[in-house]
Amino acid sequence: MTDTNTNTNPSSLQRAAWLRKLYFTRAAFSFAWVALAFTVAKGSPVVATALLVVYPAWDALANLWDARMTGGAKANPTQVLNAWMSALVTVAVAVSLGLKLQIILAIFGVWAIVAGLLQLATAIRRRKGDRGQWVMMLSGAQSALAGGFFVAQQGSAAPVVQTFAGYAGVGAVYFLISGAVIWIQRAKGRHERLAPREV
């Protein structure tokens, strides 16, 4: 069955619009997640648990949305792989929380390393055709480094939700900047097209 909602050959303007929307949406979600992590989650174990499961689940959906709107699965193998990885992490986190296993930071650490490298690979592949990818390259590299920090923190007394919230906050800033770069470049291009030409 063919998915008629997947554009397998989007124009450059469509890609720019979709990526801008995606990056701003991801930034907004992450900022909201961080706000909850540093407020409500501190006094509510239920909210803290929900946040730990929701974050990788959202990442999986966001990566699938990204792949679907920018050419489909075949054109975006790293995004699809990232989505599968995030889905597996969602299950692993839910299971570990249910069994009261203290390995969440290690799970998030390995995930951040792999997801960061996949994001870096995606940005490198897109850098010639899409704006704002240098920001995504930095974000992917930073994610991989942060993952190593999480793994090193495993077994310490560091609060899991708040520790991960710092990582999510930095990621939100990267998405916001990347979306802004696309918006500025598109606005600049529109202005140049509409500007009167000298005869």
For residue 69, the model assigns a pLDDT of 87
Say if residue 99 is exposed, middle or buried (CB neighbours under 10 Å; 0-12, 13-18, 19+). Answer: exposed
pLDDT tens for each residue of 72-97:
899 899 999 999 999 999 999 999 99
Rounded Cα distance between 175 and 89, Å, is 21
The most confident of 45-59, 124-138, 146-160, by mean pLDDT: 45-59
Instruction: Enter the tokens of residue 76.
Output: 């975006």
Angle at 71 between CA 142 and CA 138, to 5 degrees: 10
Residue among 49, 69, 59, 68 at smallest CA distance from 29: 59
Using the predicted structure, report yes or no on whether residue 123 has a pLDDT greater than 80: yes
Rounded Cα distance between 44 and 21, Å, is 32
Domains of the chain by residue range: 12-188
Rounded Cα distance between 104 and 180, Å, is 33
Residue 79 one-letter amino acid: Q
Instruction: Enter the tokens of residue 108.
Output: 């998030």
Share of the chain above pLDDT 70, in %: 89
Cα-to-chain-centroid distance, residue 116: 9
